[in-house]
A and B are shown apart, each in its own frame.
Chain A
């Protein structure tokens, strides 16, 4: 193995340890006397130091050594971990990240000064920065270092994309396969088997694009902690539904909107510790990131237990900007009332400062969610907190769907939305009124090869969200779809619809089948709604 490979491993492994160090520092901040946590921290620092020394990364080695000494002192109760000392370790971890990113190079005056300052402070007694020395640091033998087995590797996302690209190009070679004479049927059989294996490989590689919500939420941990600390607040992040997985591209697009909501919650929702105690709340604020998936949509809720959104500020805004009377304001729904903060006018309004900035940039958040064809709704209870709910059309994961053909179109609907599938006995059979003839709807003229198949939809899968025609009660109707032929019940990877496709309003996602074929996923309620409007 050459040195370059060692360097890559060093970067990957150090990154993993630094993430764990961040999490551990958050925990020791809560439990500064927990020797087990300090032992873990000390172990991670030691691992980084060892790798850095092996590669002659002296700056990283020296810094991690100094941090390790501090952790050891706290672990052995030779010093007390006061908040400023823990903050010092946070700063040190941040510096380590910078050094790892730059492969130990300090290439600016600012970085040099930052490094010098941190090293200077870490050279002092760990109890001295802002608190009296309680104990002398005892010279004790360190505990044996516990090393976690390496059972995971970190690889850049772009590398997954590259692998997907290669496997796709291998699949494309199938189209250039020259005709194979009958006498070589055995070769043809081998090639078919080879291609099916490649397609399976491709499908599995594609699933590497999925990231768990738990891993996604981990990127917020340090930010929340740091921001709360800078404001003199204490906030914890809880994650539920962390095992749900979504496409990394979707999560990347959600990253900024979510951090915006969370920052607002910390800055303007969560009260100061003393205020919370006065109100009978736990001293520490709580933000919950909750993920749910119902096969057809991914729902992410960010809930805080702060003061809630200031109703008076919204009322003042509605009166001033829209000249609404008190009566008119009382007539609008709670949802519409709080959605006011999402409007562009509200965000640029001077009233933002009057409501403690809760609306700053929220229009940007709404735009980002809209881009993903999702919806954002807000609920708030004064004194209890606010909840932001983001609903996205599909979970961007692998789902089972019934794939079918209508003329030249390959389409799909989630299997969970189907009650049954039946084939008509004759091509000319009349369709019931509650059966949507997709051939007719999509303008397909080519003749049917065989009698149509009828997909009977499960009740509740087609509830119309908006006002239907007065004469129709869609919720009471058992809808069905007439299609040409059924390809089968297949696992498909769902990707997000493009902005152009979204303009049709009838697709909830784009399905990619194991063989690479594309089958748009129909949004049943939207499709029925479209039909009712015709």
Chain B
């Protein structure tokens, strides 16, 4: 299978490429009150709204190294849409299909944490939303 690999706090993560709609350069992101700290805001791309997530904050409570060269991974699956900003988008990689059942895999000698959009979504849904509940 092909994955889109990215780096967060010196650790590799991989997302099944079939869920990745596009990788784009940084665009305007509009922050929204009452959202968890990892929620950077919203972006509007090609007629669709995406919740923008700071992968560093979501995974490690540590803000990603975001700059004007940062790239954003747009994920679409089922009816959900997320935009993930990691430290670095590494690119497409092929891994053994047998790795699907494992939590991590190796590609080009790197250990990669395989994550699914659903696992990201579940993690986001568990956060606190609303006044004074920033997590």
Residues of chain A at the chain B interface (Cβ within 8 Å): 160-161, 164-165, 168, 172, 175, 206, 209, 253, 371, 406, 408-411, 441-443, 495, 498-501, 503-507, 510, 512, 516-520, 530, 534
Contacts and interface: CB of A to CB of B under 8 A. Distances in A.
Tell me the dominant secondary structure on chain A's binding face: mixed
B32 A534 contact: no
Interface in B3-42: 27-28, 30-35, 39, 41-42
B42 A518 contact: yes
A209 B47 CA distance: 9
Given A206-B47, A500-B39, A505 B130 contact: yes
Nearest to A517: B30
Interface residues of B, number: 28
Interface string B49-62: 10100000000000
Given A504-B35, A518-B30, A168 B45 contact: yes
A168 B22 CA distance: 15
A499 B41 CA distance: 13
A516 B39 CA distance: 20
Interface of B: 27-28, 30-35, 39, 41-47, 49, 51, 79-81, 124-125, 129-132, 134
B44 A516 contact: yes
Contact of A165 (B41, B42, B46): B46
Contacts of A499: 80, 125
B51 A500 contact: yes
Contacts of B132: 443, 534
A405 B34 CA distance: 15
Contact of B51 (A175, A410, A498, A534): A498
A168 B27 CA distance: 11
Contact of A500 (B28, B47, B129): B129
A534 B132 CA distance: 9
Nearest to B32: A520
A490 to B, nearest CB: 15
A202 to B, nearest CB: 10
A510 B130 contact: no
Nearest to A406: B33
A408 B129 contact: no
Nearest to A501: B32
Contact of B28 (A209, A406, A443, A516): A516
Nearest to A504: B34
Given A206-B47, A501-B51, A518-B49, A441 B30 contact: no
Contact of B131 (A498, A520, A530): A530
B46 A504 contact: no
Given A371-B79, A410-B30, A517-B30, A501 B35 contact: yes
